[in-house]
Amino acid sequence: MTAGRALRIASHHLARIGEEARIALPRECCGLLLGRETIDGWQVTELVTSPNVAPADRHDRFEIDPQILIAVQKRLRREGGAMIGIYHSHP
């Protein structure tokens, strides 16, 4: 992301991430932010939740499921759009 440009995320997306973080405790939750470029930055249009596939004894780590990552990349190539970020919690 270029400095000075905004990342816009709707309150319902933030609430969903918060709920995922609560459910995942004591582990980290994680997922992908999909969206589009706008005139002044980036707009999140979709969240893709991923199981945290980091080893279970590592509560302070996260790892996006590689199968989900590959499937999303293929879908974005086919349908358009962009993966604009990754989210994760810090319990």
Question: Would 83 be classed as within a structural domain?
Answer: yes
Residue 1 lies in a domain: no
- Residue range of the domain that includes 33: 6-88
Number of domains making up the chain: 1
pLDDT reported for residue 91: 78
Q: Is residue 25 part of a domain?
A: yes
pLDDT at 58: 80
Laid out side by side, the sheet with 82-88 consists of: 6-8, 41-50, 30-38, 82-88
Cβ of 71: how many Cβ atoms within 10 Å?
12
- CATH code: domain of residue 32: 3.40.140.10
User: What is the pTM assigned to this prediction?
Assistant: 0.90
The model's pLDDT over 11-67, given as tens digits with 9 standing for 90+, comes to 999 999 999 999 999 999 999 999 999 999 999 999 999 999 999 888 789 999 999
